[in-house]
A and B are shown apart, each in its own frame.
Chain A
Amino acid sequence: MTALIPIEPLRKSVEISVDSRPVSVPEGSTILDACRRADIEVPTLCYLDTLHPVNVCRVCVVEVEGSRVLVPSCSRKVEPGMVVKTDSERVRHSRKMVLEFLASSVDLSTTPEVAEWLADYAADPERYGPPAPPSAAGERDSHGPGHHHAVEPGFRATVAQPVKLDNDLYIRDYGKCILCYKCVEACGKDAQNTFALTVAGRGFDARISTEFAVLLPDSACVYCGNCIGECPTGAWMFKTEFDRRAAGTWDESAQEVTTTICPYCGVGCSLELHVQDNEIVKVTSPLDHSITSGHLCIKGRFGWKFVQNRGPVRQSEGVDRG
């Protein structure tokens, strides 16, 4: 009989307690991994399996016995004997406030699951007063650090601002941005290595930006669209989706997802074609796909218009440019 050869080094398992239940996970796992193994639901926004945890949204915080403050479950590694509470009053309060803070300052209308969480935690974003008028286009991009822009007393500051439309492939709706850093990570060190995006400014004026807030076509952007792939709120969105939403013809329930392999090069990326009304409306790649980890390039992400081209092939096209 042949012995099985482990393809990964064996890891010791660590026993912890989550909500008074014993959970065993491999060494090096996070508290979030342990919660998932125990089927305990923990909300997350800035966390994604394929990116380094930045633990900034703080919606996944849990209580760990012996810790002065709450800890982010997405990044904290388990230690033997750890006692974790995911549903204590402290945890529920901080989660409620984080959700309120976000919902009172950001447009979460296209963030999946958040409406349920707001209801679950009894968050009331309206108690901070009515929203202040939205900023003018580009106004927030010019806010310098250390000098906040107070709104009229009685109103609440928000990040509301006009959508940035500067190319045919995708839009940036920073009024929907919760500053989860995912697009910066996906554009930079965690996936694309293009580094076209940064967080600029400080405090409430911190925002996703290119250098000097230049338009995407002037920036280092290579239109891989990985920012859209990672964005949890729809602040980055396919132009096709944006246009259909504006026209009221975006209907996810009427969409079919077809999995295929990208035809362009030899890498063999897995594509998920989202089709509505017999039209490809967006393309994603599965996060757990061993080749892409959810990331694509400009061709796989956007180069499918030819599929829709039903007309006869015209010889002159691409030659006669007058």
Chain B
Amino acid sequence: MDLHLLAAEPIAEERDAIDRFLGSAAGGWTGGERTSTDHHTASGGHEARDQRYLLLPALRALQARIGWISEGGLNYICERLTIPPADAYGVATFYALLSTTPRPPRVVHVCDDIACRTRGADRLCDELEKSAGQDGWLRSPCLGLCDQAPAAFLTEAGPEPVELLFGGATAASITSVLKGDYAPAKQPHPVLPQKGSQELRLLRRIGVVDPSSFDDYRAHDGYEALAKAALLGPDGVRKEITDARLAGRGGAAFPTGRKWDAVSLQPERERYVIANADESEPGTFKDRVLMEGDPFALVEAMTIAGYATGAERGFIYLRGEYPLARERLQHAIDEARRNGVLGESVHGLGVRFDIELRVGAGAYICGEETAIFNSIEGYRGEPRNKPPFPVEAGLFGKPTVVNNVETLINVLEVLHLGGARYAETGSGISTGPRLFCLSGSVQRPGVYEVAHGTSLRDLIALAGGVAGGRELRAVLLGGAAGGFIRPDEIDMPLTFEATRAAGSTLGSGVVMLFDDQVNLVDILRRIAAFFRDESCGQCVPCRVGTVRQEEALHRILAGKPIGGVATERALLEEIGLAMKDASICGLGQTAYGAVETAMKRLGLFEEASAS
């Protein structure tokens, strides 16, 4: 392949940003100064192309330094990594936090998604439009700070880039941040509502340990699970996980033991473990709380996963909007390496295992388990068709375990208690403790840990009920990809089986409350807009279906239905069925869930269609 570059040259800062990330260019073949030996050597082939997986971090480095990705900057990345510029452009235009047109160095991404909407985010954006105009800020999908809604995310490009995720945002605080006064954005994230409770297992260290101290982690049972794993051996660890009947907490509830067994049985020796920390499902923030408050736990759990499945390399794929989690995880990885529990020979296990932290750049779809592979490998984050499944051909085409962060944290608990004892809590595949993200019109929003089987009513009561004692209109269970349930259904026990039987889902543990003052059609349209914005665009049912769904809701909201609301309702159903049945991945397959349940369970559009 001959690289054909555009004529644009990188400016010094762009070159510097890339060199700081990749190291200086070795010679003229890769964008550096020509050396006397360049004439006698050739560069290219597999060795050059194998660097492709560095593309996304290189683009991020450029964005963080300059504030956008110019032709010259992209050229230089392409030269360094031997990537055709069209390909790199396709990747750069896939992520919302990267810009291929000039952007001011300081940008505030203001969440106007559903949880923040119940706390006045839409009004806030209207005010901002009046006071600050259109410049310097952008509307954003859910930022994962729903417990502190309304949320905003500041990015400032430069030699010392700044990224701050902050809650309690007001038009005034955002205006001052836009002017360079970051004090309103530096409020500490609030503590856990259940902090200090003796019943906590997954959350017990949050707010209690110093998240930057390896020794403090050790002093709070840290690395005890790893020691147990060493005694059990890889097969023994997998047996405990299977006995625990641990099911995935990312939304699909796949048995973790089966996944691990499948990877360990592959003839291919090169294997990977990925912690899916791309948590971008609207209303979900549990993994952020875990990673910010207890980063070593994730590192330890991944090391055990690697040991049990025979993988030597792990990736944490973290969403780009979590700068604090990034900082703390990177520190935890470094500390674990320094203390010999990560790296060439993991202390106690005698195996090699290391972790690389990968940061996304604003794309919900990259949390899809196969899109994550493409994103890490340096391609557009488009989901792959299954089969082949990740356990056979995942990252770099090798057998791969992809587990949600909460699932991995549960692994420590399984080893701590033993699989059989862990499974004593709950029933069926709904064993052990479970995290829920309470947000919306709730009195005390936050992450709550309860045992599987707790009723939704009790969980809501734990969080203080509906905010201001108002009347509950609906609960969104499982996230935007989940569905609504009625107030008279909240005695439902929170298990995979019970919610499934009721035609709902636990999803990623979202419990978002809507009181009687919320405009549900507006919420529904925002959910539809979310899927429209976040669709990768690959397959027709999702690419066009999400647009047609959003348009139909927009028409109803604007009072301009085609052929009456009943016709629109029927149309929405037809669109939804095709998305559910014919889309490649879970995004398209669930994009109709909220609309469907709002119509079928809450009776939305029924009064209107009767008239």
Does A257 sit at the interface, judged by CB under 8 A? no
Task: Name, among A104, A199, A214, the residue most crowded by chain B CB atoms within 10 Å (CB to CB).
Answer: A199
Q: How far is the CA of A100 from the CA of B538 in the complex (A)?
A: 17
Among B84, B88, B560, B577, the residue within 8 A (CB) of A153 is B560
Does B583 sit at the interface, judged by CB under 8 A? yes
Query: B101–A144 contact, CB under 8 A?
Result: yes
Among B4, B90, B363, B543, the residue within 8 A (CB) of A200 is B90
Does B86 sit at the interface, judged by CB under 8 A? yes
Query: A195–B94 contact, CB under 8 A?
Result: no
Instruction: Return the CB mask of A116-159 against B: 1 if under 8 Å, else 0.
Output: 00000000000111000000000000101111101101101100
Does B578 sit at the interface, judged by CB under 8 A? yes
Query: B90–A145 contact, CB under 8 A?
Result: no
Query: A201–B93 contact, CB under 8 A?
Result: yes
Does B241 sit at the interface, judged by CB under 8 A? no
Enumerate chain B residues within 8 angstroms of A193, measured Cβ to Cβ: 1
CB distance from A123 to the nearest CB of B (A): 11
Query: A206–B536 contact, CB under 8 A?
Result: yes
CB distance from A29 to the nearest CB of B (A): 15
Decide yes or no: A203 and B537 within 8 Å by CB, A97-B574, A97-B582 being known contacts.
yes
Does A287 sit at the interface, judged by CB under 8 A? no
Query: A55–B584 contact, CB under 8 A?
Result: yes
Query: A202–B536 contact, CB under 8 A?
Result: yes
Closest to A157 in B: B547
Enumerate chain B residues within 8 angstroms of A153, measured Cβ to Cβ: 551, 554-555, 557-558, 560
The interface-forming segment of A4-12, A68-76, A234-242, A290-298 is A68-76
Q: How far is the CA of A210 from the CA of B90 in the complex (A)?
A: 9
Query: B581–A98 contact, CB under 8 A?
Result: no
Q: How far is the CA of A5 from the CA of B362 in the complex (A)?
A: 56
Among A55, A61, A156, A206, the residue within 8 A (CB) of B551 is A156
Decide yes or no: A179 and B537 within 8 Å by CB, A195-B86, A210-B86, A220-B86 being known contacts.
yes
Closest to B582 in A: A94
Does B100 sit at the interface, judged by CB under 8 A? yes
Among B3, B544, B558, B581, the residue within 8 A (CB) of A101 is B544
Enumerate chain A residues within 8 angstroms of B550, measured Cβ to Cβ: 148, 150
Closest to A204 in B: B547
Name 17 interchain pairs, CB-CB below 8 A, sorted by A: A55-B584, A58-B541, A59-B540, A76-B387, A77-B387, A97-B574, A142-B101, A145-B95, A150-B551, A154-B560, A195-B87, A201-B93, A202-B537, A206-B537, A209-B93, A211-B74, A211-B86
Given A58-B582, A98-B540, A200-B89: 14 more A-B contacts, CB < 8 Å: A58-B540, A69-B583, A76-B387, A105-B544, A144-B93, A144-B101, A145-B93, A148-B533, A157-B547, A157-B551, A195-B1, A198-B86, A202-B94, A220-B85
B residues near A, CB below 8 A?
1-4, 6, 71, 74, 84-90, 93-96, 99-101, 138-141, 362-363, 380, 385, 387, 529, 532-541, 543-548, 550-551, 554-555, 557-558, 560, 562, 571, 574-575, 577-578, 580-584, 589
Sorted nearest first, the 4 A-B pairs with minimum C-beta distance are: A206-B537, A198-B90, A146-B96, A220-B4
